[in-house]
């Protein structure tokens, strides 16, 4: 018996419906409306309780299979605060 495939994914703790079973990183970004300067990262262990994250970067042209409702997150660019200079 075949298990039905999921057409949903998560980005930054929000669930989105996919337009197809496989999507590129750029398509996932567009649906989730994420900033292009923030890396898209997939947590391969998100559905496994008590297991540390196993994170991989997803490029804009990389194709991702959405079976199992994968979890992604973005990371804003780092900024350094220099305090009062002057």
pLDDT at 68: 86
The CA-based angle 80-82-86, given to 5 degrees, is 155
pLDDT at 19: 83
Residues, the chain, total?
A: 86
The tens digit of pLDDT for each residue in 55-70 reads 899 999 999 999 888 9
Tens of each residue's pLDDT in the chain, 86 residues: 555 556 899 999 999 999 899 999 999 999 999 998 999 999 887 767 777 778 899 999 999 999 888 999 998 887 666 666 55
Dihedral angle sign, alpha carbons of residues 26, 27, 29, 33:
positive
């Amino acid at each position: 018996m075949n298990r039905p495939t999921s057409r949903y994914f998560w980005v930054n703790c929000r669930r989105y419906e996919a337009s197809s079973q496989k999507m590129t990183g750029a398509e996932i970004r567009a649906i989730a409306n994420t900033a292009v300067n923030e890396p898209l990262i997939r947590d391969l262990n998100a559905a496994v309780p008590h297991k540390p994250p196993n994170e991989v970067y997803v490029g804009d042209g990389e194709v991702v299979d959405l079976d199992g409702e994968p979890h992604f997150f973005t990371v804003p660019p780092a900024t350094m605060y220099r305090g009062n200079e002057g």
